[in-house]
Amino acid sequence: MKKTSLKRFLVIMALFMMASWIALPEKLPVKFNVFGQSIDVTLSSPVIDLYILGKPVHQQFEFKQGLDIQGGMQIVLEADMSQIAEADRAQALESVREVILRRVDLYGISEPVVQASSNNDQYRLMVELAGVSDSTQALSLIGQTAQLDFKLIQTLPPENEVPSEASADNPEAEVPAQDTMQLIDTGLSGAQLKRAQPALNPQTNEPEVSLQFDEEGAKLFGDLTTQHEGEMLGIFLDQVLLMAPSIKQPILTGQAVITGQFTLEEVKQLSIQLNAGALPVPIRVLEQRTIGASLGNESVRLSIRAGLIGLGLVVIFMILVYDLRGVLASWALLMYAVFTVAIYKILGVTLTLPGIAGLILSIGMAVDANILIFERMKEELRAGKSWGVAMELGFGRAWDSIKDANVTTILTALVLINPLGFSFLNTSGLVRGFGITLLIGVVLGLVTGVVITRTLVRLFLREKQFVVMKTGGSNTPHLN
């Protein structure tokens, strides 16, 4: 058992060192003197920059700051669905969300959050724009109805051409670079497009996009495809090219399909983008708030201070009550904290003030498992079990209580996160942030208590380290 525990300990320490490297801040200056030699280095978390199968892979481990920490704007919008058929409203709301995301991405806003929710006949979107302070510009950016246009594409003469670029939605299909296009208005727009939806080709079983036009659109589209067979028809959303399929043949039925080397996910995304113009939804601002970064930084400083004080008090309590076992539990708790921070960076968890609160709460909960295990070990020793048997029974029989307590907390965290997007549950980003950090903390707490603490106890604790008390004439090991 000792040999197995030693191997497990070495693996845990290797993972701990790796997690410590990832958990480092972006820049950590270190200065000290050794035998008269001055050491001045700057430590930083690793950056992955590789080529895998010819594709670049770049990963920088850093914290993503939420709106309440970084500062910015929060805008609540209401979508007017009065002119949209009830069966199409969910799709229309998702299309509006997609349009807003595209706009803020083009604006250069990093990590925008756009959440859609519906309750009865109310359809709302909450937009969080971190780092944005100009409310007028932000509202003009997201408050417009999407415009979908179909335009013929002709390239400029060769002397004006620059290298062509591939469509983002179909990398294999070459289209002219946007600054070399000569666009011809066709009169066909999203107003004549009834619906776009993903479909599968019945012959090849490949994903494609199905288009359906109204009566006016069918006539325009029929004339267009008859007169310009073989040419490229550009589809623009808010004046940005989505794709440029070529016209293979006249289409007179008002129903068409866009084929290509699409994946199913790309087809779904294209359908959402096209429906943004086919199902135009007016939106109005219900609420807007501006959050200052200085307030967020001060709150983070106070939250971190509270977390460190709480961690220190937990460590002191464990050592005073459980002596050497408390030292080992505190060691496991330190590993838990480092692993948690590293996982936040690896998964790209957005750090918010409620999220920090969830982290602090989970630190306290991580100790619960150790206390249950140690108290159970006491009971087994008092019942006359040997140290080795009492230790294993303590871990084994405490597991049921630990599992039940943590499973209920995990279920609560899942309700807060609302991963399936149920409209009758929470959709707030701040509450979700709390739920995500709580969920990660609880799962890691289980690993810490059952795996790490168990390994440390098996490796470093011996029976002679406990006080032997005489009870009824028999020597029974007793845990203080």
Q: Is 84 among the domain residues?
A: yes
**pLDDT-based confidence at residue 170 (cuts at 50, 70, 90):** very low
Q: Are residues 281 and 299 both part of a single domain?
A: no
Higher pLDDT pick, 180 / 86: 86
CA distance 288 to 128: 10
Do 99 and 167 lie in one domain? The reply is yes
Examine the domain organization and report whether 101 and 245 are in the same domain: yes
Average pLDDT for 264-288: 80
Q: Which domain holds residue 461?
A: 293-478
For residues 471 and 319, the model is more confident at 319
Whether 250 contacts 226, CB under 8 Å? yes
Does residue 60 fall inside a structural domain? no
For the cut 70, the answer to whether the pLDDT of residue 354 exceeds it is: yes
Instruction: Please provide the distance, in angstroms rounded to a whole number, between the alpha carbons at the two ends of the chain.
Output: 25
Beta carbons of 95 and 273 less than 8 angstroms apart: yes
pLDDT recorded at residue 286: 87
Residue 382 CA: distances (Å) to CA of 243, 263, 390, 462, 470: 75, 64, 9, 17, 11
Take residue 368 and report the two structure tokens written for it. 């619960």
Report whether pLDDT(417) > 50: yes
pTM: 0.63
> Which of these three, 291, 316, 331, is where a domain ends?
291
Q: What is the pLDDT of residue 345?
A: 86
CA gap 6, 14 in Å, rounded: 12
H or E element in which residue 50 lies:
strand 47-52
**DSSP output for 304-340:** HHHHHHHHHHHHHHHHHHHHHHHHHHHHHHHHHHHHH
Torsions phi, psi for 231 (to 5 deg): -90, 170
Is the pLDDT at 260 greater than 70? The verdict is: yes
Where do we find the tokens 């589809």? 235
* Paired strand residues for 65: 351
232-254: average pLDDT? 87
Final residue belonging to a domain, choices 273, 291, 309: 291
Q: Is residue 14 part of a domain?
A: no
What's the pLDDT at 28? Answer: 65
pLDDT at residue 167, rounded to an integer: 36
Element (DSSP H or E) covering residue 468: strand 467-471
Q: Residue 463's pLDDT band (boundaries 50, 70, 90)?
A: low
CATH of the domain at 399: 1.20.1640.10
State the Cα–Cα distance between residues 417 and 443, nearest whole angstrom: 15
Q: What are phi and psi for residue 75, nearest 5 degrees?
A: -125, 130
pLDDT at residue 274, rounded to an integer: 83
- Averaged over 178-182, what is the pLDDT? 64
Domain boundary among 291, 314, 334: 291
pLDDT value, residue 181 = 67
Same domain, 159 and 254: yes
Determine the pLDDT at residue 472.
36
The CATH number for 130's domain is 3.30.1360.200
* Cα 304 off chain centre by: 22
**pLDDT band for position 14 (50/70/90)?**
very high
**Statement to judge: residues 159 and 275 lie in one domain:** yes
Are the C-beta atoms of 167 and 175 separated by less than 8 Å?
yes
**Opening angle at CA 425, ends 423 and 430, nearest 5:** 110
Does residue 273 sit in the same domain as residue 392? no
Number of domains in the chain: 2
Residue 225 pLDDT exceeds 80: yes
User: Quick one: pLDDT at residue 16?
Assistant: 92
68, 291 Cβ separation under 8 angstroms: yes
Inside any domain, residue 233:
yes
DSSP 217-269: HHHHHHHHHHHTTTSEEEEEETTEEEE--B--S---SSEEEE-SS--HHHHHH
Q: Nearest 5 degrees, angle CA 84-CA 87-CA 92? A: 50
Tokens 């997007």 correspond to what residue?
421
Beta bridge partners of 185: 151
In tens, the pLDDT along 100-152 reads 877 776 666 666 778 888 887 888 888 888 777 677 767 766 766 667 889 99
8 A C-beta contact, residue 175 and residue 153:
yes
384 Ramachandran zone, left/alpha/beta (phi>0; psi -120 to 50) = left
**Confidence check: pLDDT of 288 > 60:** yes
**Same-domain pairing of 259 and 318:** no
Question: Is the residue at 174 inside a domain?
Answer: yes
Cβ density class 326-360: b for 16+ within 10 Å, e for less: bebbbebbebbbbbbbbbbbeeebbbbbbbbbbbb
Asked if the model's pLDDT at residue 344 lies above 60, the reply is yes
Tell me what pLDDT residue 13 has: 92
Same domain assignment for residues 329 and 442: yes
Are 128 and 254 within one domain?
yes
Residue 448 lies in a domain: yes
pLDDT at 159: 45
Q: Which residue has the higher pLDDT, 95 or 10?
A: 10
262 φ/ψ sector (left φ>0, alpha ψ -120 to 50, else beta): beta
Residue 286 shares a structural domain with residue 305: no
Q: Do 390 and 315 fall within a single domain? A: yes
pLDDT exceeds cutoff 50 at 44: yes
User: pLDDT band at 161, cuts 50/70/90?
Assistant: very low
* CA-angle at 295, arms to 291 and 297, nearest 5°: 115
- What confidence score (pLDDT) does residue 372 get? 85
Residue 452 has pLDDT above 50, yes or no: yes
Percent of the chain scored above 70 by pLDDT?
A: 79
pLDDT at residue 221 in the model: 92
Is residue 20 assigned to a domain? no
Q: Which pLDDT band, with edges at 50, 70 and 90, does 479 fall under?
A: very low
**Measured CA distances, 76 to 73, 117, 191 (Å):** 10, 11, 26
Give the span between the Cα atoms of 22 and 27, in whole angstroms: 12
Mean pLDDT computed over 272-283: 75
**Does residue 424 sit in the same domain as residue 318?**
yes
What is the helix (H) or strand (E) element at residue 347, kind and residue range? helix 293-347
Instruction: Return d(Cα 97, Cα 77) in angstroms, integer.
Output: 10
Residue 206 predicted with pLDDT over 50: yes
The model's confidence at residue 168, banded by pLDDT at 50, 70 and 90, is very low
pLDDT at 144: 66
- Asked if the structure places residue 209 within a domain, the reply is yes
